Structures are given as structure tokens and as C-alpha cells.
Structure 1
Amino acid sequence: MPERVDLIESPEEHGYHLPQRTAMYHWMSRWLKGTIDEEPEPETRAQAAKDLNCTETGQVLTSIPEARTLQSIYREEAQRLREKRLSYLSTNSSETWLSDLQKICGITPRASSAWNEKGHAEADGIRESTWTTEIEPGWNLLATLYEKNSGSSQPPILIVADSIGQFESEDDMRNRAREGYPVLRVIPRGLDMQERYKGGELDQYFGDWVVSFLGTGDSGSSACGAAGCGCTEGS
């Protein structure tokens, strides 16, 4: 319905100023009420700040005896929870802590690793192994693990790749492995069909959605199943 689109130009800065409001009044009157109404917006006097105060002083703490702030309420609640937590920790074993935490988080222990080694190659002191896991019926996730033959001594590194860029940094990954870092390169689902992941502004609001697609498993288990590798799924 292009005939119901009105355009307005206004020199004002960002906001909803009088010219924009007036145009909106006219448009809504015409298309929602079926009448032509060009009455100007009545003048509205801005009230003084003191007239808008909810208390005499404008501050709850200085107007109401024994008033509390959200900060003080949170502090008291944090102290209460701390005492409850310390009491729980002092009367239960670490095995009980872990079991209760798994129940709260909905973690189901897994009997064995769901990752299967499909093959490996060794060259220049580096072992490269290919791993797969079926995250959904008929849908396999692919990963490559780079390890130093003599063993890894540094924290693991997780690299999220796609089918286009999966070979861009092989030399760098091998060099990292030579330094003692086990390197796990994973191609998440959704990025194996020529889709490039570049991140973006949404990540800071909704989290890294790529990590959530890395596979399934319980926290603390080895993502690749390789001996001596401390990499965890989704970490």
C-alpha cells in the first residue's frame, strides 16, 4: 500500500521532535481514524525536577528511616548464601559436590568418549590424528588433533575452522604443537558448507553460537578422547 507511506524531512538531530510527532499524528488520524486532523500538538510545560521527586529530598535513603539499597540487599543475600555454601562444603565430600553439581546442571555422565579416531600420520616429531563424532543421526563432526610425539606440556588450544579456511594455518598449528601445545582444530556444523564465520557484534550480546555447535558431552571429558589431551568440548 504505497499510497499510505508519508515522508517527512526534519533538520532536527536524532530523536522524536515536534515535526516528526506532528506528521505521525496526521498520518494516524488519516489512516486509522479516517479523518483529516491537522491540529498542532498542544504545548506541554516541562515540570521542575523537584516536582517529580517521589520523596521530599529526592533520595529514599535520606527520606525514609531504615531504608535499604539494592546493593545492601544483594550484599546480605550474598553473605547468607556464602554461609550456606561453606556449611555444605564442610559436611559433604568432593564426590558429593561433583554429583550434586552434575544434577543441577543436567549433566549426564558418559560411559566412554563419543569421538573415534579415523587415522593418523607422524612427521617431524608431530602426530596428526583425525577424529569424528556423530552429534546427530547421520551428522558427523570432524576434528584434527596436533600433538608432539614426546608428549604435551602446555595447555590445549582449540581452533574453530570452516571448510574454506581449514588449511590456512596448518604450519602455525604444527609449530604450536612443537612448542608443547596440543592443538585441536574443529569444523562445527553449519560451517562445513562453504560458510565463513567472522564473528560479529551479536556475539557480545548472545554469546558465541559456534561453540554451542561443537558437539555433545559432559564437562571435563576430553573432547577428542586422546590420552594426555586436556581439551574439553565447548571450551
Structure 2
Amino acid sequence: MTVLLVSDLHLDAARPATTHAFLALLAGEARSAEALYILGDLFEAWVGDDDPGEPGASVCAALKALSDSGVPVYLMRGNRDFLYGPRMARRCGATLLPDPCVVDLHGTPTLLMHGDLLCSDDAAYQAFRRQVRSPEWQANFLAQPLAARQAFAAQARAASREHQQGVAEAITDVAPATVAETMARYGVSRLIHGHTHRPAIHSLEVDGRRAQRIVLGDWYDQGSVLRVEAEGLALESREVRR
């Protein structure tokens, strides 16, 4: 059977075509999958499990329906939706995964990550990540009214776009030394991640062994899906009709 992996859908009410494309995947191809893994940034922003708005409500309901049909759903937090909590997982019928984590995909131990930890040359982003991942910061943030949290998320997205434009492209990509060190630490020869929006399958060497790094694409202009089967894997692009 096929394991499906996606990342960086950045679902948002302003981009309904992407939401429709993902819902079609959940209602169609995913129903015959062995499992679905979502490696972060499913939503453009997630300001707390108490947000009843769209597209969160529809997508969570569709994920729950997929899970109820017998297909396991696994969710990883990304840099946009790092505030997923247990209530979100229950709404989706999903299992929250730590970042990083190693899973067995058809007999191959595979390291799954969102990917932002691998961009270690971006010191400003890594400092921000440490701040917002702290329990104290998250508790203070989630105690604010929903409208205030939504306003903060909008400001953070604008600041992120400005930051991306102000640094060299190489800094926002993964650091090869960090990739090699991370894969060696977990003892794997295959890594799958998203975050960078640079879909590709890379061959490399880790501790003298042949290794592979698969980067999932985003869903802005296409739908990037990785299919993993016992016979191999394929990184595919699906049309997002507007």
C-alpha cells in the first residue's frame, strides 16, 4: 500500500482553491492509503485550538472522516502551526508527531522533520523559533483573546515575508552540515522534510553511506505529494485549479 506525505499547504481562507484540492485528496486517493503524514504548515496560521474559523473547521472534519475510515493520520507542527494541541489532534482524529521523529516506511527507517531546524544558518529565525516554542511564551499567547492572537499572526506573517526578502537565499535553505549531522545522529539514510518549498530528491553521503533527502513542495501553485511504496517512492505534483 501507499503512504502519502505532504507539507506546507498553508491553507487559508484567502486561497480556497488550495483547500478544495486538499479536501479532494482526502476524499479520494487518501482513502486507499496506508497512512497520511502532514509534515507541518498545514495552515497558514494556527492561533490556538479554540479557533472555530475556516478553513480549519472543514479540514479538521475531513481529516477526522479519513481517520474514521481506517487511514491513520499523523500531524507534525510547522513554523506556522506550532500551536497545535491535544484538542486539535482529537478534532482531526490524528496523532501528533514530535519533530524530528523516525518512522518505518516499508522497512526503511526514515527521519521525518518539518525542516526549519535544518536551516541553522538563519540565526534570526532560529532565535524566534526558540522563543515561540517555549511553554511560557505559548501560555501567555494562548491566554490572549482570539482577535489579538489573529492580529499577531498577521503581523508575524508580514514580518516573515520581509525577513525572507532581506536575507540571502542560501540562508533560508537547509545547511548541508546540519543535514548530515542530524541524519548521522538518528542513524538513518533517508530524510523527508518540507519548509523550504524546494521540492527535490537529493542524493548524499552520510558517514560513508549513500543517503537520500526528499524535500516536499508547497501547495501555492501546485499540490506536492510524496508517494512511498514498498517498490520505491515518487514525488508528484498535483494541479491546484483556481
Instruction: With the length of structure 1 as denominator, give the TM-score of the two structures.
Output: 0.21
* Structure ID, larger Rg: 1
Structure with greater helix percent = 2
* Larger proportion of strand: 2
Higher relative contact order structure (alpha carbons within 8 Å, sequence separation ≥ 6)? 2
